[in-house]
């Protein structure tokens, strides 16, 4: 009995000692910045660079860059429910989450409209972080869509990457069928139900799942319908292979079981990590939709922005983020992170204009920044992920033989249902 009590007492002591070991971040002394972002080889590396540059001029400023998963940052903002004491000063946010978070937690995010100059940034990207006309995000990496193709496979079928540049979907399908016949290869792959490809094609012709006033625009959306029909044609003909998970999708690229992909330019980090395939890839723009207004060869998928939290060190955070228009910063982080700037002038940087060995001497990064300026802006909103899930259901059901119009009507109803609370 005595032993038990002394054991418990000892444990209580260990516990309280342990507690003292961690200081609560809520009590930050002024002059210290905490930043949450999530990828060691990407945005963390970029912030380390920014920190280095900032501390060169402000040696007394302490900057903590902490690795926190995107979904964990989101969970923690939701869990703290408007109270910023446990939150850092700067967080990285997935572009499509900004609307949702700013709308729901306006007290958490700092309005930076008057603090920064947002001219020369990719218009399509900037729009994602504007809520009610106010800016809440500093664009970081672009999700500009690139089409990356295996030139060796194309050659086998008698094509070059130029044949796939500035083309429309009709021509693309023609080539794809021919390539499939000659090499047996599908052109594309992607996750079933994830609708990335559908939404990429939708934005390429200026379409959206929402109207300007924020209401759902799914049923009777001609652009969306045309896009889904094209997508389903590709799947049905075996031009687009649906796999069940992200790692299988990456697997199709690294195994060389597809000719290529079109998605956000961040995919190039993965492709460039396949060192045994160096020289076999080329980058161009995506095929444009046919028969819809405003079709272009450019789109966007993914990307993230920095948001400033209403915390004790706002002024310091604002000052730190001044690197957002620094061409040198974007230029220096490019080789290690492959993070492509949303800031137009960055394309003049020496690393942007340099020929890429992996891509046979093509200056792909400058090319991507140029693509970025031509991406049509997208209407988005706090219900983006709701709508996206429902459209995904409609696409899957239509593929399995459902009537597309009524499936889209269901998706519209389900989205309106959620919005109706």
Q: How far is the CB of 139 from other proteins (least distance, A)?
A: 17
Closest CB to other proteins among residues 322, 396: 396
Angle at 227 between CA 221 and CA 229, to 5 degrees: 100
Closest CB to other proteins among residues 2, 119: 2
Part of the chain binding other proteins (CB under 8 A), chosen from 164-172, 214-222, 268-276, 327-335: 268-276
Q: Taking CB under 8 A as the rule, does residue 242 contact other proteins? A: yes
Contact of 169 with 230, CB cutoff 8 Å: yes
d(CA 126, CA 203): 15
Footprint of other proteins on 371-390 (CB under 8 A):
382-383, 385-386, 389
- By rule CB under 8 A, what count of residues binds other proteins? 77
Q: How far is the CB of 408 from other proteins (least distance, A)?
A: 13
Q: Taking CB under 8 A as the rule, does residue 83 contact other proteins? A: yes
The b-or-e profile of 30-69 (16+ CB within 10 A means b, else e) is eeebbbbbbbeebbbbbbbbbbebbeeeeeebebebeebe
Q: Taking CB under 8 A as the rule, does residue 71 contact other proteins? A: yes
Closest CB to other proteins among residues 51, 325: 51
Part of the chain binding other proteins (CB under 8 A), chosen from 73-81, 321-329, 353-361, 368-376: 73-81
What ranges make up the beta strands (E) of 223-334?
240-243, 260-264, 281-284, 304-308
Closest CB to other proteins among residues 256, 344: 256
Q: Taking CB under 8 A as the rule, does residue 183 contact other proteins? A: no
Q: Taking CB under 8 A as the rule, does residue 121 contact other proteins? A: no
Among 127, 214, 251, 344, binds other proteins (CB under 8 A): 251
Among 9, 13, 79, 355, binds other proteins (CB under 8 A): 79
Q: Taking CB under 8 A as the rule, does residue 335 contact other proteins? A: no
Q: Taking CB under 8 A as the rule, does residue 139 contact other proteins? A: no
Q: What are the angstrom distances between the C-alpha of 389 and each of 53, 197, 209, 336, 414?
A: 41, 14, 11, 34, 10
Among 157, 192, 278, 290, binds other proteins (CB under 8 A): 192
Q: How far is the CB of 160 from other proteins (least distance, A)?
A: 27
Q: How far is the CB of 261 from other proteins (least distance, A)?
A: 13
| DSSP 8-state secondary structure symbol assigned to residue 62 | E
Q: Taking CB under 8 A as the rule, does residue 403 contact other proteins? A: no
Which tokens hold the place of 13? 């002591």
Q: Which residue, chain included where needed, has tokens 């089409």?
A: 147
Q: Taking CB under 8 A as the rule, does residue 243 contact other proteins? A: yes
d(CA 92, CA 141): 10
Closest CB to other proteins among residues 88, 206: 88
Q: Taking CB under 8 A as the rule, does residue 214 contact other proteins? A: no
In the stretch 11-30, what mask flags binding to other proteins with x, by CB under 8 A? x--xxx-xx--xxxxx----
Give phi and psi for 229, each to the nearest 5: -60, -40
Grouping H, G, I as helix, E, B as strand and the rest as coil, residue 385 is: helix
Q: What are the angstrom distances between the C-alpha of 178 and each of 165, 255, 259, 371?
A: 17, 21, 12, 27
d(CA 259, CA 107): 47
Closest CB to other proteins among residues 3, 114: 3
- Label residue 90 left, alpha or beta by phi (over 0 means left) and psi (-120 to 50 means alpha): beta
Closest CB to other proteins among residues 378, 407: 407
Closest CB to other proteins among residues 45, 377: 45
Footprint of other proteins on 279-318 (CB under 8 A):
none
Among 270, 296, 336, 360, binds other proteins (CB under 8 A): 270
Contact of 253 with 270, CB cutoff 8 Å: yes
Q: Taking CB under 8 A as the rule, does residue 213 contact other proteins? A: no
Give the Cβ contact number of residue 152 at 10 Å: 14
> In what helix (H) or strand (E) does residue 64 lie, and over which residues does it extend?
strand 62-67
Footprint of other proteins on 47-66 (CB under 8 A):
66
Q: What are the angstrom distances between the C-alpha of 153 and each of 179, 281, 286, 310, 371?
A: 8, 10, 18, 52, 25
Among 55, 296, 322, 393, binds other proteins (CB under 8 A): 393
């Amino acid at each position: 009995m005595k032993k038990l009590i002394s054991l418990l007492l000892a444990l209580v002591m260990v516990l309280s000692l342990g507690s003292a070991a961690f200081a609560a971040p809520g009590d930050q002394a002024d002059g210290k910045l905490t930043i949450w972002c999530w990828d060691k080889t990407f945005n963390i590396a970029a912030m380390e660079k920014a920190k280095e540059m900032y501390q060169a001029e402000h040696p007394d400023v302490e900057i903590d860059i902490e690795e926190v998963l995107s979904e964990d940052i989101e969970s923690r903002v939701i869990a703290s429910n408007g109270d910023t004491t446990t939150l850092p000063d700067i967080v990285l946010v997935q572009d499509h989450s900004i609307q949702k978070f700013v709308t729901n937690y306006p007290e958490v995010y700092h309005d930076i409209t008057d603090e920064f100059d947002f001219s020369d940034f990719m218009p399509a990207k900037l729009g994602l972080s504007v809520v009610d006309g106010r800016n809440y995000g500093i664009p970081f990496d672009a999700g500009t869509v690139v089409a990356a193709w295996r030139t060796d496979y194309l050659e086998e079928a008698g094509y070059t990457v130029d044949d796939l540049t500035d083309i429309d979907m009709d021509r693309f399908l023609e080539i794809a069928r021919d390539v499939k016949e000659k090499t047996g290869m599908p052109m594309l792959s992607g996750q079933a139900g994830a609708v990335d490809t559908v939404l990429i094609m939708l934005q390429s012709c200026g379409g959206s799942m929402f109207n300007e006033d924020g209401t759902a625009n799914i049923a009777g959306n001609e652009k969306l319908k045309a896009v889904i029909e094209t997508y389903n044609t590709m799947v049905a003909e075996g031009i687009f292979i649906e796999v069940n998970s992200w790692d299988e999708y990456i697997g199709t690229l690294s195994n060389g079981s597809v000719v290529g992909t079109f998605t956000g330019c961040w995919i190039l980090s993965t492709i460039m990590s396949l060192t045994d395939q160096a020289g076999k890839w080329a980058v161009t723009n995506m095929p444009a939709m046919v028969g819809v207004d405003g079709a272009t060869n450019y789109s966007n998928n993914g990307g993230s922005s920095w948001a400033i939290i209403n915390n004790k060190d706002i002024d310091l955070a604002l000052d730190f983020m001044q690197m957002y228009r620094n061409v040198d910063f974007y230029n220096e982080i490019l080789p290690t992170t492959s993070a492509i700037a949303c800031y137009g002038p960055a394309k003049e940087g020496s690393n942007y204009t340099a020929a890429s060995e992996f891509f046979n001497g093509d200056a792909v990064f400058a090319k991507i920044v140029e693509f970025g300026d031509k991406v049509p802006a997208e209407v988005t909103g706090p219900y983006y992920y709701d709508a996206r899930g429902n459209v995904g259901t409609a696409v899957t059901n239509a593929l399995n033989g459902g009537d597309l119009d009524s499936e889209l009507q269901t998706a519209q109803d389900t989205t309106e249902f959620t919005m109706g609370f």
